[in-house]
Amino acid sequence: MKDSDQSLLKLQLLRKQRIMGNIQWVNTLRHRVDQLVWLQGALLLNRLSRTLWDERTKETKETKETKETKDTKDTKETKETKETKETKETKETKETKETKETKETKETKETKETMSDNVSSHHHFVLGGFSDLGALRPLLFLPFFLMLVVSLAANSLLLYVIVSQRSLHSPMYLLIAAMACVDLGLPLFFVPSMLLNFLFGWGGISLTGCLLQMFSVHFLGALQSTLLLCMALDRYFAICTPLIYHKHTSVRRFLCFVIPLVVRNVLMVSLVVILAGNLSFCLGNVVAHCFCEHMALVELACGDTATNSAVGLIGVSLIPVVDFFFIITSYVVIFSSVMRSGKSGIKALHTCVTHIVVMAVSLTIVLTAFLAYRIRNRLPASVRIFLSIMYLLFPSCFNPIIYGVRTSEIRRHIVNMLTLRRCVADLS
């Protein structure tokens, strides 16, 4: 009995243990199921929150875009309105400025016309160059007088040597003699009257005398440029084509080349002088220069002077600029041919250097004087007048000295002539 009771108890304990194990297993399953359900719920909530967040972000983006588009539209409209207002204002200001300018130009023209109608044109002028120097003005007599003496003496000596020596009657030396004639005559047309004006204040000149002085000064200045071109072509024929040099430099060929250039100079200078003479000078009769320079006289006119300035620019471009272009091209060809030939052409190149020095000095002075009138607001009047005098007077003093020093034949004849005179003086 005891054994059976123990076995029953064991069976009951085993059953209880199995039941408890089943209960624990069921409880773990429930717990796991609850966890799974909670995870699924959390996932669903996460998905819902994400979808809601995406919808909200989309709505915010759309609202921002709409706001931005509205702002851009508003800014564009405001910009357009501002631009239209500015354009209207600028148009109005431009129209007002144009109307004011047209009114002013009309008034100035009317005033000039009334002045020309009321005041008769001046036919007598006073040369008032360097008037701002005051009491120091007579001191200018000495340097300009010395330059005149040097110019006359040096050019006369050069002419005498070339004319008296038959060995110097070649085309090159005859062109140097022609340049000496121009340099001798050019200062005589304006320097003596200028010196008298400095000393005694004799600055009066008539309109016809002023126009004649203008023609002679400008014509001789243009003739200097033409002679420099002829010298450059003479050196070109002598160095590049020595076998037919005398054929090219015959009198007939020379006249056929020189006469059109001289006619060009005469026509251009005559046109400038005739246009200046047709103006009515009612703004004053004091010419701010020491001689009748073209622009200094035109400034006194009360009519329209646009054609005068345009013709002056055309004359400058047709005479010195064209001559300078052909001179440069001829010397470039000469130097290239000398470089190819070697030492044989170096002696012939010596005379070219003399012409180049003269050309460089004269052209630099001409350009500085021409630019001085274009930038006259920045330069004093005395500086402009001094430059315009020097571009006529300085080459007349400089050219004969350079030709006499650098040209060996002329230098040798001058030295021989001076030594002979000294010997004659010593013997006497």
Q: Give per-residue pLDDT as tens, 353-411.
A: 777 777 777 777 777 766 666 665 567 778 888 888 888 888 888 888 888 777 888 88
Q: For position 69, what pLDDT does the model report? A: 66
Question: Do 270 and 214 meet the contact criterion of CB atoms below 8 Å apart?
Answer: no
Q: What does pTM read for this prediction?
A: 0.68
The CA distance from 180 to 157, in Å, is 9
Q: Which amino acid is at 93?
A: T
How is residue 132 annotated by DSSP? G
Residues 324-368: tens digit of each pLDDT: 888 888 888 888 887 777 655 565 566 677 777 777 777 777 777
Average pLDDT over residues 164-182: 89
Beta bridge partners of residue 206, listed in sequence order: 124
Confidence of residue 115 (pLDDT cuts 50, 70, 90): very low
| Res 213 pLDDT > 90 | yes
pLDDT of residue 428: 63
CA atoms of 76 and 90, how far apart (whole Å): 20
pLDDT attached to residue 196? 92
**Domain ranges within the chain, ordered by starting residue:** 1-84, 124-427
% pLDDT > 70, the chain: 80
DSSP H/E element including 285: none
At 145, the pLDDT band (50, 70, 90 cuts) reads very high
Which pLDDT belongs to residue 209?
Answer: 93
For residue 287, give every residue at least 6 positions away whose Cβ sits within 8 Å of its Cβ, in sequence order, or none: 125, 126, 127, 128, 129, 210, 293, 296, 297, 300
CA separation (Å) from 165 to 10, 162, 169, 351?
168, 6, 7, 19
φ, ψ at 299 (rounded to 5°) = -60, -20
* Contact by Cβ (8 Å): 81, 268: no
- Select from 1.10.357.10, 3.30.200.20, 1.20.1070.10, 3.40.50.2300 the CATH code of 124-427: 1.20.1070.10
Strand partners, 126: 204, 286
pLDDT at 215: 94
Instruction: Please spell the DSSP secondary structure of 165-190, one letter per residue.
Output: -GGG-SHHHHHHHHHHHHHHHTGGGT
